[in-house]
Structure 1
Amino acid sequence: MSSSNGPIIADILSKTRLVNTYASLTREFESALSHINNPSKQITILAPRNSAIHNLPHKPWENPEDYERLGEVNAYEGREGKDRAQGNLKRFVEGHIVGVCPWGEGEEAETLCGKKVRWVRERDRMVIEPGHIEVDHVAEKVSNGEVWILNGVLDPR
């Protein structure tokens, strides 16, 4: 899927082993694919490390509020439950895609799910706010944006 200007995010995201759990989730949603596959859209992917996703107290498709509201048994049962889980997962994926690149320090940007985020430098590291999530490093810069590796997970709500 390379553009004539070189590789794009879609080309490198799934090859970045530290974040292949998140990369596989992006393939489930057209909203994410239409951004990572588009050589003319400049985006920043805030990709959580595999370990950050696996260490969550709940799965990316689970929302603790669903359990509070509907109970453990009913939250993700039946067609409505599957739709709810899919919506939560979509928000999780979209909550890690920022619609700008380059993205300046302190500049407020919006994720695909509509949450406002910004990054700041603290000593020698970059941190995403809200949530105080540390950016481990910028993995790749390609023709349609950048992939940043996060040591945590952003809350898309």
Structure 2
Amino acid sequence: MDPAGPGPALPPSSDAPAPPSGAVGGEVVLSDVMGRDRSINLFAGFVRDIESASQRLDDSSKNTTVLAPLNSAIEKLPRKPWEDPRDYSVFGAQAYEGEDGPARAHRNLKRFVEAHMVPESPWVEGKNAEAIGDGQTIWWEEKGGVRMIQPGDIEVVSVASTVANGQVWIIKQARNYA
């Protein structure tokens, strides 16, 4: 223990961390919490790879409900989120190789990520909304005490986070994004 005492109080150093880039006055936004829950870290990684999605979640003026599929749901998909059977039928087995392949894969991944983002929060039960990526009308309803995304009867496991610009809902399976 220092016999001289704790010393004088010092002002915060200029090295203090800045608030998150999209946050106003230090508000916590969706981009700050996407990676917190390990059960959805695959989806959170995809979000970071899509600039338009990352920017939206970082923007405190754009409310969003993120429907984040569990890692296990993504692993069970019949194809990778960046694959599209139509690409294989047109371009063959090398659909994601060559000069245009990576751009095709990126467009597909963007569609997958944005199909899991709703530009509403709070999102009221029964209110129709359009997913950002596919424009499909979706809604949610309570069935037997369980929140379900429609169409598809997709179970909401939990509301993982509520922050200044929206919520992260963890869902049991991926939405049909084709």
**Shared fold, TM over 0.5:** yes
| Structure ID, larger Rg | 2
1:36 pairs with one of 57, 75, 79? 57
Q: TM-score, normalised by structure 2?
A: 0.82
2:11 alignment counterpart: none
The letter for the 1-side match of 2:76 is: N
1:20 pairs with one of 41, 58, 61? 41
Q: Are residues 1:146 and 2:143 paired? A: no
How far is the alpha carbon of 1:90 from its aligned partner?
0.5
1:7 alignment counterpart: 28
**Where do 1:18-97 residues align within 5 Å?**
18-71=39-92, 73-97=93-117
The 8 Å contact of residues 8 and 143 in structure 1, kept in 2 or not, is answered as yes
| Matched-pair identity in % | 42
| Structure 2 Cα separation of the partners of residues 116 and 66 of structure 1 | 25
Structure 1 stretches of 4+ with a deviation exceeding 6 A read: none
| Structure 2 Cα separation of the partners of residues 153 and 146 of structure 1 | 17
**Where do 1:101-140 residues align within 5 Å?**
101-113=121-133, 114-140=135-161
2:118 alignment counterpart: 98
| Structure 2 Cα separation of the partners of residues 62 and 100 of structure 1 | 28
| Structure 2 Cα separation of the partners of residues 126 and 70 of structure 1 | 40
The letter for the 1-side match of 2:40 is: V
Answer with 126-135 or 84-93: which moved more.
Answer: 126-135
Q: TM-score, normalised by structure 1?
A: 0.92
Residue segments in structure 1 that go unaligned for 5+ positions in a row: none
| Structure 2 Cα separation of the partners of residues 84 and 52 of structure 1 | 23
Give CA-to-partner distance per residue, 1:107-155, whole Å, 9 cap, x none: 1111221222111111111111122211111111111100000000012
| Structure 1 Cα separation of the partners of residues 89 and 156 of structure 2 | 31
- The number of equivalent residue pairs is 156
Residue segments in structure 2 that go unaligned for 5+ positions in a row: 1-19
For the residue of structure 1 that corresponds to 2:100, the secondary structure is: helix
| Structure 2 Cα separation of the partners of residues 5 and 100 of structure 1 | 22
The 8 Å contact of residues 115 and 156 in structure 1, kept in 2 or not, is answered as no
Task: Give the structure, 1 or 2, with the largest relative contact order (CA under 8 Å, sep 6 or more).
Answer: 1
